[in-house]
Amino acid sequence: MRTAEIRRRWLDYFEARDHAVVPSASLVSPDPSTLFTIAGMVPFIPYMLGQQTPPWNRATSVQKCVRTLDIEEVGKTTRHGTFFQMNGNFSFGDYFKEGAIEYAWELVTGSQADGFYGFDPDKVWVTVYHDDDEAARLWRKVAGLPEERIQRRGKKDNYWHTGQPGPAGPCSEIYIDRGPAHGKDGGPVVDEDRFLEIWNLVFMQYAIEDVRSKEDFTITGDLAQKNIDTGMGLERVAYLLQGVDNMYEIDEVFPVIAAAQELSGRRYGADRDDDVRMRVVADHVRSSLMLIGDGITPSNEGRGYVLRRLLRRSVRAMRLLGVDEPALPHLLPVSRDAMSASYPELATDFDRISRAAYAEEEAFRRTLVAGTTILDTAVAQVKTAGGATLGGEQAFALHDTYGFPIDLTLEMAAEQGLAVDEQGFRDLMQAQRERARADAKAKKGGAAGTTVYRELRDQGATEFTGYTELTTPSTIRGLLRDGVAVPAASQGDTVELVLARTPFYAESGGQDSDAGVITADGARLEVLDVQRPVKGLVVHTVRVAEGEVASGAEVLAQVDPEWRRGARQAHSGTHVVHAALREVLGPNALQSGSYNKPGYLRLDFSWNQALSAATRSEVEEVSNKAIREDLGVKWQYMTLPEAKAWGAIALFGETYDEQVRVVEIGGPWSRELCGGTHVDHSSQIGIIALTGEQSVGSGSRRVEAVVGLEAFHHLARERALVTALTDALKVRPEELPERVSGLVARLKDAEKELAGLRQGQLLAAAASVAAGAADVGGVRVVTHEAGAVASADDLRTLALDVRHRLGESPAVVAVGGVAKDRPVVLVTVNPAGRALDLRAGALAKVAAGALGGGGGGKDDVAQGGGTDVTALPAALAAVRGAVAERAGGR
């Protein structure tokens, strides 16, 4: 049974039993303390906590999930993967244990002909929490399971929570006996390879806090209602029903392994190390496909860093399989085809996805080249010092600073006859992991600190009035200092303040928070920041400028109207620029992030090449034409499916409620899901002036612009600059480009003339330099310091001239100099010298090692450089020594 069919049967089964089919949420977690959606129940947590009223009592979904905690174990076991799919059915105060068990038993053991999964009832085992007698009784009643196939376990195995404060409860897990070929008898408590868990029924009934570990937490009380949260591992069920040994061999994953076999010429199943590499490739390519599909792009932090690591591990694994050519253009389309039956959007959006992935592979291939140069330098230094082992610090620096994988370091060092201090490397990696865990723990502690916000949220959501008014009477619902509730705040205090109603926009959707004041009897509070630490709660960071305020006081919240005017211009301007980019570049130029505040906007979008000056000018012109046309700006609420059907653009990486706000400018020209504040007509934006465009990662660009009055000031400054130049050069503004071009050309001619004079001076010394050649083991060797030079080309010219003057006998010339404050050594070897196995590239690396840098090149001419100018004499001496060593060893 294909994976897509297993998925379809799941949704059909529960839909027929009055469950609302809920589309998978984004892989981008809505919880700021976690990067990705890690479980099927994550989107439903607000309903389980009672923070929001669910629109249905029953729901079902197939949720996309990513977990990367055990990324190093991927491929080594059959259990670890990064991307997976979790089938789930949920009850919010409706059915509980008995209903969940009845549904599970029927779907698992019912016949395939009737639309079920058809597992043999005699091979089903279950576990329950050790004191959950009710669950054990229901398994006997509903399924007729004998007592010996109902096993009891503790919190470590049969109590579920997210690892964060929130809902929790005991659970019951369903296992399938794979038979004696897979391990010992005795149920899951004896062998979880033979007895494979496929489904976990969680009986959510408690709220927990202070989560110290899987088994150590504090139960704070019962949830407002008893809930059911179940999770069936789709990939696990797939490999059982498809008769394969593990998740890597199912129909949605194995095609990538097959493609890797074809590219590498190696056979899956023939070598354990190759098998691990192919599994890594299959898992990581699929995960990368899904992450980019949800709008994540490679970067050096957060989610983007995880994606970058997945892609680079894929490329690295293919290289270790012997594939040096770009691999992703072969592998990614295969994964797309395997996954499109379940996620058709991957096919329609593949152009954007592939651009980001292929650009990252190309960038990593360049990193490998740079890392190879650094590695060669480190190896040369070790050999020069007479060592046989590359230090753990050097291997770690290659990994951590340059992104050079340790297994490539091991492989390439071995090719040059060196071992690597692996233990030193592992110790440094462990220290880094411990720092990362400490950071993660700190972040979790911070997340636990949201308890006080949740308590305030339980009193009701903050009503936002800022769409229609800038001044709102309100009541102080709470005051916080350093995360602790306080009764009052006095002049000079900086505190967090929660209002029942507020006109202040909290930073979100790329729009900066509002500025303004909050006043009460004799008190004036300056609003410094506005955030939403938990959904539905607006928190104002304020400084008490005058007087004193207390919790429960009546206040007047007032947004600065000039600030809001600028914020509206910038946010609407962001939508206009986005629409202009799509009009000029095409529909693939989709926004991937933004930031705007009064007078300024920046917008990141999917694109893999720089915009030409003409293209930037066209985007600017289209934007300002839309402003001039005074397009109407409207917004309305609708369901998310309605919005998508209407053509509204959702920002990648954002999570949305079922009801969403759609903002349109000029009708269908710009329709986006957005909660920000906007102008009423496009003409109110004023003017947009693009000020910059740059890369912000593989397959992603950024444009920046000034808006409104700031745009006018920017253009006025440019006008003043043009006026100053025209006055200085005595030309009209339209003649300025030609005049500047002429001056630049004259400057270049002068520079060429100077370079010719310098080269002439160098060549004039060539004869005397050649005359200083020394005999080193039958090789004529010249080492010469030329002093300051314009560039390495001057050294190359001198070295080649000297080599020519030395005739046809074996000769090596090494000329050093300082170009742009950095030491450079140019090495050249004539044909007779190369016949003695003297190679310019190898000698340049030796010189570069003394200079603290890298080098290399061809056998006849090569170059090395570094950072230590004072080491030039030592670098030239190292070349002489290397020639003596090779010549003496013949």
Interatomic CA distance for residues 782 and 769, integer angstroms: 7
Instruction: Phi first, then psi: give them for residue 599, nearest 5 degrees.
Output: 85, -5
- If phi > 0 it is left, if psi is from -120 to 50 it is alpha, else beta; for residue 734 that is alpha
The answer to whether the annotation marks 171 as part of a ligand binding site is no
Q: Note the Cα 387 to chain centre separation in Å.
A: 39
The answer to whether the annotation marks 678 as part of a ligand binding site is yes
CA dihedral of residues 684, 690, 694, 698 (deg, nearest 10): 40
Q: Which two tokens stand for residue 683?
A: 């003409």
Interatomic CA distance for residues 795 and 801, integer angstroms: 10
Q: Which two tokens stand for residue 353?
A: 């996805």
The answer to whether the annotation marks 784 as part of a ligand binding site is no
First to last CA, the chain: 68
Interatomic CA distance for residues 552 and 741, integer angstroms: 69
Nearest of 223, 218, 193 to residue 208 by alpha carbon: 218
The answer to whether the annotation marks 330 as part of a ligand binding site is no
Q: Which two tokens stand for residue 587?
A: 């529909």
C-alpha distances in angstroms, 650 versus 39, 522, 528, 646, 654?
Answer: 23, 45, 29, 12, 8
Neighbours of 251 (CB within 10 A): 17
Are residues 493 and 546 in contact, defined by beta-carbon separation less than 8 angstroms? Answer: no
Task: Indicate the length of the chain as a whole number.
Answer: 890
Interatomic CA distance for residues 172 and 139, integer angstroms: 10
DSSP percent split of the chain into helix, strand, coil, nearest 5: 45, 25, 30
Interatomic CA distance for residues 195 and 226, integer angstroms: 30
- Inter-helix orientation angle 272-293/328-339, to 10°: 70
Interatomic CA distance for residues 487 and 674, integer angstroms: 36
Interatomic CA distance for residues 834 and 828, integer angstroms: 10
- If phi > 0 it is left, if psi is from -120 to 50 it is alpha, else beta; for residue 877 that is alpha
Q: Which two tokens stand for residue 832?
A: 């007779």
C-alpha distances in angstroms, 853 versus 498, 504, 618, 869?
Answer: 57, 55, 44, 11
Task: Give the annotated binding-site residues for Zn(2+).
Answer: 571, 575, 674, 678
Binding site listing = 571, 575, 674, 678
